[in-house]
A and B are shown apart, each in its own frame.
Chain A
């Protein structure tokens, strides 16, 4: 309980800090007053139309990425499993780019998250097929590399073939992720999918706990494994697909957060689900504040910061895994 309260408090504080972070040089009190007042002044427009959706998206995206990382790790019983690393974010980005390039998202706005979700489902299915139930780290990472590489190549191809001169530069956004200039349009587009995905993943708690004992024992404990797998696939795809569709591929959240919080929840997969959601929200909020405060003049992409934190941790985890296997 103390952990839950602590994390909720952390998220709340970071949320407020995110609202106060940005280009406009105004004091905290005035900013918050303008947010509440909504009186049509420029500051109020900045707060309500630019900063509020950005903070909301950061929290939502962080939460679902953290949760889906914890879910994948729980199912595959492997601490290296993470939607970004195993190619699900990359595939989602491909889906989103295809929806935009074909003009589908203009005709039918929901096509954007749906296309991302569809590609994410494909990617999850591929990973589960390649890595298998006894997904050893090696097989898992290799499968992830393959899927990431393929998705990235196809995304670059689609953008390069576009008649639009700016499409090729978009690749940076899709590969690295960014929350700059997101609006409530994006919030409403992604929220329903994220909500459904989060609920599906939350229902996995008991099954993931039982999986601690292995698949056989879990099934004998009354857990329906195929139903579990289906909810995992759909839940992860919905969460990661929607998040990537509006903010590009943001990696490492699902790796770092569960890893940091696992000791705090006694390594219980079910507890790790909600803890990683809160932790993920905090992490992305913090990173988004950092990209605006550290280098305000340049548009530092969110994914860069995530990679700077996450990649060394990933290397450390690989090293640890290697030592255990030796």
Chain B
């Protein structure tokens, strides 16, 4: 069953297409890494798919009415805004907003979802702390937990592991991979190609607004693609501990 389908999605800024006729389909159980150089249009693609930007073409997600869309897909933007000094627990609970009837307090199922998200991201000792006083990396984990608490079939995250230490980077990517194994789907945009190779089941490579490669990591991260799109040479090997990918030199 398709969770989201894009057909010829195009976003223009003036004359220039920032996202250029992108078509793809996302089904259950996928952990998708969205990769591409700076300015390739990754963020714009995700926002347009969610309907947060005006775009031509089709997005099944954007076509949904806002409340239903909020129950279908969770979005974690790149700008990690936390406007007020709320506790971590309260911040995570904001993810339940699409499920709450008007003016309702948290019900038992909402609390359960919040607990699950806290457990998954290992934030139990952070519950009562003020979110704005945490470090950047800790805030990122809290915001991911918020998206998890939303309990949607689809999760879109814009550079969620940027700024996290290695342990938490791996742990977070494993959370996403687990979600995929449980039948949900995740689309994360990444700059860390190594993490993308190791944890994602499918990669989408973008270049100048166009989707130039779509498939499993091995098929996408070919030396030709990596050189043409990223301008680097890289070491790639399928090891006993899974794929290892390491950019080596700038080729341009």
Contacts and interface: CB of A to CB of B under 8 A. Distances in A.
A–B contact (CB under 8 angstroms): yes
A220 B52 contact: yes
Which secondary structure characterizes the binding site on chain B?
mixed
A182 interface: no
Interface in A210-251: 210-214, 216-217, 219-224
Interface in B19-60: 47, 50, 52
Given A220-B50, A220-B52, A222-B69, A212 B84 contact: yes
Contact of B75 (A209, A217, A269): A217
A213 B90 contact: no
A160 B150 CA distance: 59
B77 A217 contact: yes
A222 B50 CA distance: 11
Interface of A: 77, 205-206, 209-214, 216-217, 219-224, 262, 266-269
A213 B143 contact: yes
B226 interface: no
Interface in B82-113: 82-87, 90-91, 94-95, 97-98, 100, 102-103
A206 B79 contact: no
B90 A216 contact: no
Contacts of B83: 77, 211-214
A266 B87 contact: yes
Given A220-B70, A224-B66, A206 B86 contact: no
Contacts of B76: 217
A311 B200 CA distance: 55
SS class, residues of chain A in contact with chain B:
helix
A210 B74 CA distance: 13
- Report the interface size class on chain B: 20 to 34
A214 B86 contact: no
A77 B132 CA distance: 13
A216 B94 CA distance: 14
Contacts of B81: 77, 212-214, 217
A213 B93 CA distance: 12
Contacts of B82: 212-213
B146 interface: yes
B104 to A, nearest CB: 10
A191 B81 CA distance: 38
23 contacts: A206-B100, A212-B82, A212-B86, A214-B83, A216-B77, A216-B79, A217-B77, A217-B81, A219-B66, A220-B50, A220-B77, A221-B70, A221-B94, A221-B97, A221-B98, A222-B67, A222-B69, A222-B97, A223-B97, A224-B66, A266-B86, A267-B84, A268-B90
Contacts of B150: 221
Contacts of A224: 66
A266 B86 CA distance: 6
Contacts of B95: 221
Interface string B62-75: 00001101110111
Contact of A212 (B77, B94, B100): B94
Contacts of B67: 222
